Structure 1
Amino acid sequence: MFSLPVTAAETRLDTLFSQLEGAAPEEARRIASEIELEWAKSGSPAMDLLLRRGKDALEADDMEMAVEHLSAAIDHAPGFAEAWHLRSVAFFRREHYGLALNDLAQVLALEPRHFNALFGMGRVFEETGRAALAHEAFERSQAIHPHHEAVSEALERVSREMGGTDL
């Protein structure tokens, strides 16, 4: 039996996720930013450019252009989880929740620890009136990134909607 070599990026991500688990809030924000930077690296300058253009379009509130650039990245690099994630954001903003969920499922198939994808999934469920599923997705995100402020706020909001509060 043999084992495949682990890439440097995978090793770095594993290390960062281990650090994130027990980090204090300020340190957790820094580590999460480093994880997000690693996720944004496709290994291809062309795919990185498409991702950057997709991000720029999202920031400019041009969802059509964002979907176009990110779809091109996905077509050429279907294993690039961050392209799927950002396209899900564009779909969510266009209120295409089914498409957003499909992309988020792809992200999680590629990177099950993608706390932002889990948060996004929770937001889709919240927007579509499925509070229990939203709560579960937010809890899964928080288990990976305990100090994700948006997740903590979302958990409080959904818990109130469900008629209770977390202790």
Structure 2
Amino acid sequence: MRKPYLAAHPRKLGAVLFAASLVLALPYAGESYAQGLPQQSEAETNAQVLLEQLKDASEGEAAKIATQIKRTWARSGSASADLLLKRGRDALQAKKPKVAIEHLTALTDHAPDFAEGWHMRASALYQQDMYGPALEDLEKTLALNPNHFEAIQGLGAIFEQLGDPARAYEVYEQVLTIHPHHADVLEAMKRLETKVKGPAL
């Protein structure tokens, strides 16, 4: 069985944890992030409006709004970039992460300012147990889109794989400041709660 990336490269662990701490320090951008963009596309504006709605949505509404946000984030504005993203996603769904990485690397080379390309490549790298490179792609995703709750969730998943439930729990709490009804994150926090806070009295 192939060793996970960090097990095969133990010297990388310190660098990974340091980089992860930088990602944890990224603030929730919210409305101020939207106002700070000098030339914001209509899609980005729509995403910001939807993010504000997501914070106050009911559980039933939240899933629909989150889907709309993710669809907006998946629009690059370039037909060729959108095609590469689709090919990468299709390869991931077919459980072919190596093929996905090839398509998504072409995408990040072609459109380095497209956050979703980095996020999807991080997902493919994670499936290959390449946690260090996945973390680097999540950093790039969040530098471009600090509100990307799926990327923040991915960071929490990496912390779980590194055996650091406390940091994973902290990251998941950040997801909830953006998407309070994120079902997978709520489930993960419930799973980690005893490890982090101890058994209930």
* Fold agreement, TM-score > 0.5: yes
* Equivalent runs, 1:39-118 vs 2, <5 Å: 39-118=73-152
Work out the CA distance in 2 between the residues paired with 1:5 and 1:157. Answer: 42
Distance 2:88 2:197 in 1: 39
What residue number does 2:44 align with?
10
Cα 1:50–1:156, aligned 2, differ >3 Å: closer, same or farther? same
What does the per-residue CA deviation read over 1:54-103, in whole Å, with 9 as the maximum and x for residues that have no partner? 00000000011000000000001001111111111111111111111111
Q: 1:165, CA displacement in angstroms?
A: 6.8
What's the offset of the Cα at 1:123? 0.3
Runs (4+) off by over 4 Å: none
Partner of 1:133: 167
Higher relative contact order (CA 8 A, sep 6+): 2
* C-alpha distance after superposition, 1:101-123 (max 9, x if no partner): 11111111010010000100000
How many equivalent pairs are there? 164
Instruction: Name the counterpart of 2:62.
Output: 28
Shift of 1:142: 1.2
Shift of residue 152, structure 1, vs aligned partner: 0.1
2:44–2:72 Cα contact (<8 Å) kept: no
CA–CA distance in 2 between the matches of 1:45 and 1:112?
A: 24
Counterpart AA for 2:166: A
Structure 1 distance, partners of 2:112, 2:39, is 21
> Which ranges in structure 1 are unaligned for 5 or more consecutive residues?
none
Change (3 A) 1:75 1:26: same
1:150 aligned to which of 156, 173, 184? 184
The 8 Å contact of residues 84 and 103 in structure 1, kept in 2 or not, is answered as yes
Q: Please report the TM-score for the alignment, with normalisation by the length of structure 2.
A: 0.78
Counterpart amino acid of 1:126?
E
CA–CA distance in 2 between the matches of 1:86 and 1:4?
Answer: 26
User: SS state of the match for residue 154, structure 1?
Assistant: helix
Q: Percent identity?
A: 46
CA distance in 2 between partners of 1:119 and 1:150 (Å): 9
RMSD (Å) for aligned C-alpha atoms = 1.4
Q: Is the 8 A contact 2:169 2:196 kept in 1?
A: no
Aligned partners of 2:199, 2:170: CA distance in 1, in Å? 14
